[in-house]
Copies of this chain bind each other. A is one copy, B any other.
Amino acid sequence: MKPNCTNPEWIGRAKCAVCDVRNFVLFAGLSVPELDAILQPIDNLHAHAGAMLYEQGAPASSVFTVRSGLVKLKVDLPNGGQRIVRLLRPGDVVGLEALVGDRYHHSAIVLQDADICRIPREVVMRLDQTSPQVHQALLQRWQRSVDQADHFITALSTGSAEARMARLLIMLGCTVADSDFVFPSREDMGALLGITTETASRIIAEFRRRGLVHMDKGCYIGCDQHELSRLANS
B79 touches A233 (CB 8 A): yes
User: Is A147 at the interface (CB under 8 A from chain B)?
Assistant: yes
Given A149-B153, A150-B149, also A83-B158 (CB < 8 A): yes
> How many chain copies does the complex carry?
2
Complex interface: chain B residues within 8 A of A132 (CB): 129
Complex interface: chain B residues within 8 A of A99 (CB): 139, 143
A139 partner, pick from B142, B150, B194, B234, beta carbons under 8 A: B142
A204 to chain B: closest CB distance in Å? 20
A234 to chain B: closest CB distance in Å? 6
A interface with B by C-beta (< 8 Å): 75, 77-79, 81, 83, 85, 96-97, 99-101, 105-106, 129, 132, 136, 138-140, 142-143, 145-147, 149-150, 152-154, 157-159, 194, 232-234
